[in-house]
Structure 1
C-alpha cells in the first residue's frame, strides 16, 4: 500500500467507480423518470378518453330520461293524478310500452319506475319515492328542478345504480308532477378493456362524489385502501405513486363533467420500468468493463510515472565506500527532469565537499610532514639550545641568551603545529609572531623596527595556527631584507565593519622595497589560482608560504575570504586579511 503505483491505481479506481456509479445512477434515474412520465402521459390520455366515453354513456341516460319525462302520455297521466283523479290499473299499465321502448334504446337502462307525486305509478307494488331512493336524494332532486340526479351508493341494488329525475308538468306551468327512477347497470366500465389500449396490469375504478366505489375492473384490489386517498388529486412528489398490497402503482385521477365522479387508473410501476432491467444490466457491464479498462490504462500510466523514478532510485543507490555519480539521463517528464537536476546538483556539491575535505587533510598532512622533518631528535635540539642559553648567561651575553630562548620557544610552537588541535587563540599566535620578530631583529640588527597595534576585540578569537607568522615572515624576507637601510614593520589587529558584517582585520605593513604593478598582478593571480600548492612560493620555518596560508583561509572560512595586497616600488607593501568571527573549528 505504500508504493506509488498501488496508491495511483487505488486512487484512480476509487474515483472512476464513484464517477461511473453517480453517472449510472443519474442515467438510470433519468430514464426511469422519463418512462414514468411517458406512462403517466399515456395513461392520463387514456383516462381522459375513458372519462369522455363515460360522460357520453351517462349523457345518453340523461337524454333518454329527458325524453321520458316529456312524453305527452306520461305528462297527461301525472297531471290527472295531481288534480286528484284516480287512475285505473289499465291507465297505469299503459306506460309499460313507453318504458320498454326507451329501455330498448340503451343497454345501460335495466328498468324504469314512475311516481305520481311521492306515490308509485309503475310498477304498481313499488314503494314511495322517499323509501325507494332516500329522502336526501329526493329533496335534492326537487332542488335541481328536473335534472338527472344519481342516488347515493348505499341505495345501490345488486348490479344496479339509481338515477332520479323530477317530472315537471307543462299543463301545470311546470309544477312538480312526479319522478322517474332509472335502474342503470353498474357495468359502466365494461368498455374500458375492449375499447381502449391499456398498459399491462392496469385497472380502472369509478368513484362517486362522496368517494364511494361505483364500478371497478378489479374491486378486490381496493379492499384495504382508503377511498379518500385513492381519489385525492393532491400532488405527491414528482409523480403520484401509491402502494397497494406491497406493490407500487402510478395513480391517475380524472373527473367526470356529467356527474362529478372520479375515474381512477392504477398502473403497476414494475410494468412501466420492466425495460429498465436491460438498462441496469448494461450499466453494470459498463461499470465492470470501464473498471477493467481503467485498471489497464492506469497500469500503463503508473508505469510511465514510476519507471523513471525507479531508474533514478537505482542510480542513487551507491556501493559502500563509493561516491554517487551524476545521472545524465533526460526524462520526458518535466518534474522528473527537475528532480534529476536537483540530484545532480547535490552530487556536484557532495563531490566538491569531499574534494574540499581532501584538500584540507592533504594540507594538514603536508604540514605534518614538514613538521616531522623539523622534529629530528627534538629533545636533543631543545637540550642543546638550553645548554647554549646557560653558557651565554655565564658569559653575561644577555641578548644572545634571550635570542636562544625565543628560538627554543619558536621551535616548540612550530613542532606542536602537527598536533590534533590546529586552532589556537589570537594571543598565542601574536606571541609566536613576537618571538619570531625578536629572532629576526637579532639577525638583521638595527635595520628592523617593529611594533604590534592591537585594538580591544569583542570576542575571544580562535584562528588556525601559523596563520599570521607566515605573513610577517614574507614581509621581512621579500620587503625588508632586500632594502638597504633601516625599515619598519607594523602588525595591526582590529575590529572592522564591512558590508554590514563585523570582521577581524589583520594588517601587515612594511616600508620595504615593494613591488611593481606586474609583480603584484602575478602574485595576486597566483593566490587566486590555488588548486595546487607551490612549495617554492616562499620558505619559512613552518614550511608554509603565502599560497598555503591562502588555501587554508579559503578552506576554513570560504571562497570570499583571502589575502589582499597593496604595494608600490620603494614605498613598501600592505597586506590585509579579513576573517569572520565565530567560525567552527572543524569547518
Structure 2
C-alpha cells in the first residue's frame, strides 16, 4: 500500500518536473520579471520626469515673480531716493541740523512734495520725514522715530548710509509695510541729515496675475527676513518656518506640495512658489493603466508562445528518450528521426554516433578481455622463473656454507637480496624510502667490491633526517652501476664511488649525488650524453643497466608536475678528474606516491 502511494507520488512529481513544464514556467517567470522591472522603471522615470518638468516650471515662475518683486522694490527705492535728494528736503533738514527748526509753513509745504512723489507709485500709502534727533517734521504730529520703529532698524539704516532698509509690518497697521532710508546732506559732505520712512500697502507686492478664468496660476508666499508673511495667495494654512526649513516637497495633511524658494538680495525676503504634487503627476495614472494593459496582453501572448515553443523542443527529446530506454547493451540501435530544430538534429546525430561507437567499443572490450585472460595466464607462468632463480640461489648458498666458502656464500646472499629488491611482484609498491634505496645500492657495491677488490672504495653519506624521504625504486643504483662501469673499471688506478644525500639549496628539496674519480669525459662525449637526455640521439649505454636515460625519464614522469624543468638528471664531468651525476626530488611526494 505504501509502495503504491510512493510510486503514484513520484509519477505526479515527474510529470510536474518535466522539461516542457520547466521551460514553460521558466519562460513565464522571466517574462513576468522583465515586464515588472520594465514597468516599474518606466513608471519611476516618467514620474520623475514629470516632477522635474514641474519643478522647472515652478522655478521659472519663481524667477519671474522674483523679477517683478525686484522691480517693485526698485520703484520704492527710486521713490525714497528722490525724496531724500529733493533740494527742498535737503535745505530743510540742513537748517534743522544747524539748530534752525522748520516753521509751520515750511513743514506744510512738504505735503505737496510728498504727494507729488507718492503719485508715481500706487502702493505708497504715505511718507514720513524725520530729523537726526528722530523728530518727525512731516506729517506734523511731532512723533519720535525710535517710538515708531525698532531701534535696530534705525541702526541698520545708519549702517546702510543711504540704502533702503525694510523694517517689516507697521505696528499701527498690519496691512502696511515700512521702509526706512537715511538722508545724506549732499552739500555738506554727505553728512547725516535725517530719515525718510515710506508706508507701502501689502497688496503692492501681489506678485502673480490671474488668468482669464479668474483663477490664480500659482500659489506664491512672500516672507520677510524674520519669517513673517509679507503677502500670500495660499488657500491653506502652512507654517512659514516649515516652508523655510523643509526640502523640495512639504506635507500638509494628506496633500503634498512642491516648493521652490528664491531669496531677494535687495530685501533679504524669501519668495516661495508652491504647487500641489498631484497636479504634476496627472499623467502618471494614465501611464500606469497603459502599462498594466500592455503587460497583461504581453503575458497572454507569451504564455501561448511559450507553450508552443516548449512543446516543439520537448517532443523530439521524448522520442530520443524512448530510443535510449529501448537500447540494449551490445545491440543499441540508432534513432532515425529528423527534427525542424537544428540543435535537436545535432543532438540526435551525436546519440547515433555514440551508438555506433558504443557497439564498436563493446566489440573491442570483448576482444581485450580475451587477450587479457591470455596475458594473465602467461603472467602466472612467468612467475615461476623468479621463484626458480631465488630457490637456485638459496641452494648455492647452503652448498657454499657446507663447503666453508664464506666469501662466495656472502656474495650469493647479496645477489639473492639484490634480485628480490629488483624483481618485485605486480602488487608491490613502486616507492621506497631513501634509506631502503641506499641499502640496495650498498648491496650492489659490496658485490662489486668482491669482484674488484682493492681497486674500488665507496662511501655513502646520508643524514638521519632524510632517511624516510620517499623515492621511486631503482633511481640511485643505476647511477652507481654507471659510475663503476665507466669510472672505476675504465682505469687501472684505485677508484672511489661516493653517494651523498643532503638537503638542497632550494627549499623543500633533497639533492642526490653520485660521484666517481674515474677518467671523466671529454666535452664531445659529455655533450652527446646531455643531448641524449634531452631527447636527442641516444649515446652508447654499454654496461649501464637501466641507464641514465631511463633514470632521467622516470624523474620527468614522477616529479615533472611538482618540479617542472628541475625534474631532470644533471651530468658534470671533467677529463682526468671524474664524473658527477645528480638530481633533486621533493621532500614530500604524497601526491605522486598515491598515484
Structure 1 length as normaliser, TM-score? 0.54
1:9-66 Cα offsets, whole Å, 9 max, x none, are: 2111111222222222222222222222222222222211211111111111111111
Where does structure 2 lack aligned partners over 5 or more consecutive residues? 1-15, 365-376, 386-425, 428-595
Q: How has the CA–CA distance of structure 1 residues 221 and 126 changed in structure 2, closer, same or farther, with 3 Å as cutoff?
A: farther
Contact 1:134/1:155 (<8 A) preserved: no
Say whether 1:174 aligns with 2:190. yes
Partner of 1:560: none
How far, CA to CA, are the matches of 2:308 and 2:113 in structure 1? 94
Say whether 1:141 aligns with 2:157. yes
Cα offset, 1:274, TM superposition: 1.1
Partner of 2:313: 305
Partner of 1:258: 266
Q: How has the CA–CA distance of structure 1 residues 63 and 81 changed in structure 2, closer, same or farther, with 3 Å as cutoff?
A: same
Contact 1:206/1:264 (<8 A) preserved: yes
3-state DSSP of counterpart to 1:26: helix
1:224-283 Cα offsets, whole Å, 9 max, x none, are: 7435415xxxxx6xxx33334343332222232322322111222221121122112112
Cα offset, 1:120, TM superposition: 1.6
How far, CA to CA, are the matches of 1:258 and 1:197 in structure 2? 34
Say whether 1:164 aligns with 2:180. yes
Say whether 1:55 aligns with 2:70. yes
3-state DSSP of counterpart to 2:282: coil
Say whether 1:275 aligns with 2:290. no
How far, CA to CA, are the matches of 1:355 and 1:100 in structure 2? 126
Contact 2:210/2:217 (<8 A) preserved: no
How far, CA to CA, are the matches of 2:20 and 2:218 in structure 1? 56
- Answer with 346-355 or 109-118: which moved more: 346-355
**Counterpart selection for 2:61 from 34, 38, 46:** 46
Where does structure 1 lack aligned partners over 5 or more consecutive residues? 231-235, 357-425, 427-453, 459-500, 503-587
How far, CA to CA, are the matches of 2:70 and 2:309 in structure 1? 70
Cα offset, 1:154, TM superposition: 8.1
How far, CA to CA, are the matches of 1:84 and 1:189 in structure 2? 40
**Counterpart selection for 1:125 from 104, 119, 141:** 141
Partner of 1:29: 44
How far, CA to CA, are the matches of 1:196 and 1:213 in structure 2? 27
CA RMSD of aligned residues (A): 4.2
**Counterpart selection for 2:341 from 318, 329, 333:** 333
Partner of 2:575: none
Larger Rg: 1
Q: How does 1:74-93 map to 2 (within 5 A)?
A: 74-93=89-108
Q: How does 1:425-504 map to 2 (within 5 A)?
A: none
Q: How has the CA–CA distance of structure 1 residues 342 and 65 changed in structure 2, closer, same or farther, with 3 Å as cutoff?
A: closer
Structure 2 length as normaliser, TM-score? 0.53
How far, CA to CA, are the matches of 2:212 and 2:283 in structure 1? 23
Say whether 1:95 aligns with 2:110. yes
- Kindly indicate which of the two structures has a greater share of residues assigned to helix: 2
How far, CA to CA, are the matches of 2:360 and 2:59 in structure 1? 88
Cα offset, 1:176, TM superposition: 2.1
Say whether 1:4 aligns with 2:19. yes
Contact 2:207/2:220 (<8 A) preserved: no
How far, CA to CA, are the matches of 1:75 and 1:23 in structure 2? 74
Partner of 2:534: none
Q: How does 1:5-20 map to 2 (within 5 A)?
A: 5-20=20-35
3-state DSSP of counterpart to 1:158: strand
Q: How has the CA–CA distance of structure 1 residues 284 and 23 changed in structure 2, closer, same or farther, with 3 Å as cutoff?
A: same
Contact 1:207/1:263 (<8 A) preserved: yes
Cα offset, 1:75, TM superposition: 2.5
Q: How does 1:296-445 map to 2 (within 5 A)?
A: 296-313=304-321, 326-341=334-349
How far, CA to CA, are the matches of 2:33 and 2:170 in structure 1? 59
Cα offset, 1:145, TM superposition: 1.5
Partner of 2:299: 291
Q: How has the CA–CA distance of structure 1 residues 197 and 138 changed in structure 2, closer, same or farther, with 3 Å as cutoff?
A: farther
1:274-302 Cα offsets, whole Å, 9 max, x none, are: 11221121122221111112112111211
1:527-581 Cα offsets, whole Å, 9 max, x none, are: xxxxxxxxxxxxxxxxxxxxxxxxxxxxxxxxxxxxxxxxxxxxxxxxxxxxxxx
Contact 1:241/1:248 (<8 A) preserved: yes
3-state DSSP of counterpart to 1:249: strand
How far, CA to CA, are the matches of 2:298 and 2:231 in structure 1? 53
Partner of 1:361: none
How far, CA to CA, are the matches of 1:195 and 1:223 in structure 2? 27
Contact 2:218/2:273 (<8 A) preserved: yes
Q: How has the CA–CA distance of structure 1 residues 171 and 325 changed in structure 2, closer, same or farther, with 3 Å as cutoff?
A: closer
Q: How does 1:507-586 map to 2 (within 5 A)?
A: none
3-state DSSP of counterpart to 2:75: helix
How far, CA to CA, are the matches of 1:246 and 1:6 in structure 2? 48
Partner of 1:114: 129
How far, CA to CA, are the matches of 1:278 and 1:23 in structure 2? 16
Cα offset, 1:150, TM superposition: 0.6
1:201-220 Cα offsets, whole Å, 9 max, x none, are: 74212222344432222174
Contact 1:188/1:215 (<8 A) preserved: no
